[in-house]
Amino acid sequence: MTSSTSRRRFLATAAAATAAAAGTGVLASPAAAAHGRRLIPRGRIGLQLYSVRDKVQQLGFAAVLAELSRIGYHLIEFAGYSSPAEPGLTIPQLRQLLDDNGLKAAGSHLGLDTLLNKGTREQQFEIAAQLGTSYVGTASNFPGNTLAEIQAGADRFNEAGEVARQYGLKIYQHNHTAEFAPVADRPDVRRYDAFLEHTDPRYVFLQLDILWSHGGSLRYRDQLGEFNPVDYVNAAPRRFLSFHVKDGVRDPALTNQYRDVVFGAGEIDFRRFFRALREPAYPLYLWEQDRAPQEPQGSLWAAETSYDRMVALSC
């Protein structure tokens, strides 16, 4: 948005839509709650492989994908396509491993320039198509601190997104907390709002990291006030292709304001977040825990524990 007024209008519209949804059965009715309506559609649960990167490096994709399938995951978001445990693994072979385990590629995280620059992006779009995914994105911060710089960066996203459509793909950007900082020359505007305004909704989509968006609200509240992350989703639900379902505990010493933990062991009110969604059946729900390899029981234990708790989450 280009002013604090327009930003308030954007989020007020979403809040009103959420309230209206409550009266039309989008939120759980008392009867549904009494029967424990599941808040996360089981068939839309996946994970970002970065969470189990240590096991991918040690054991390879074949062993890890088989284990994730056994746990119950349906969707895999990649963070690279190679492992020292499987030298020479090809993209067709990786696709076959997905198929053999009943898994589907839910996307892939690339570096910013790899996703946006002519030459590298086309190669990555070909790989994404071979893997059978419809999405490819980046967890890099979008470029720019002034309005003009953010608009220039948005133009790069728009161009890449238009090219991606020729491959049957959608591109997306994944947030941390810095996206919610004030614009350098418009301190009443969030960088995220400026990015949303200047990117074309036909070509550029979003992946909301639920934990880091809460962190962004806290990190910049003195300058811009706090916000409710779900309002962004409800204001444009078809732009948010997926969530990183990440839990955490407050740690203001960290840049992202939270230390991520196993799902269900943190402070985020996921019931409130998911009950408020206008279109809960649309996005993909991808578990991620950056620190999972540091868990004493191991990253695959964290993956299984988090999956079980996500499935069990109900009204």
* pLDDT single digits (tens) 214-267: 999 999 999 999 999 999 999 999 999 999 999 999 999 999 999 999 999 999
Instruction: For residue 158, give Cα distances in angstroms to 58, 147, 153, 197, 262.
Output: 38, 16, 9, 12, 35
Q: What's the whole-model pTM score? A: 0.89
The strand ranges marked E within the chain are 45-48, 75-78, 104-110, 135-138, 170-174, 182-183, 186-190, 204-209, 240-245, 247-250, 258-261, 284-287
* pLDDT single digits (tens) 148-185: 999 999 999 999 999 999 999 999 999 999 999 999 99
61-71 helix and 299-312 helix, angle to the nearest 10 degrees: 30
For 212, the domain range is: 4-312
* pLDDT single digits (tens) 122-150: 999 999 999 999 999 999 999 999 999 99
Give how many domains the chain has, as a whole number. 1
Give the CATH number for residue 169: 3.20.20.150
Fill in the amino acid letter for 121: R
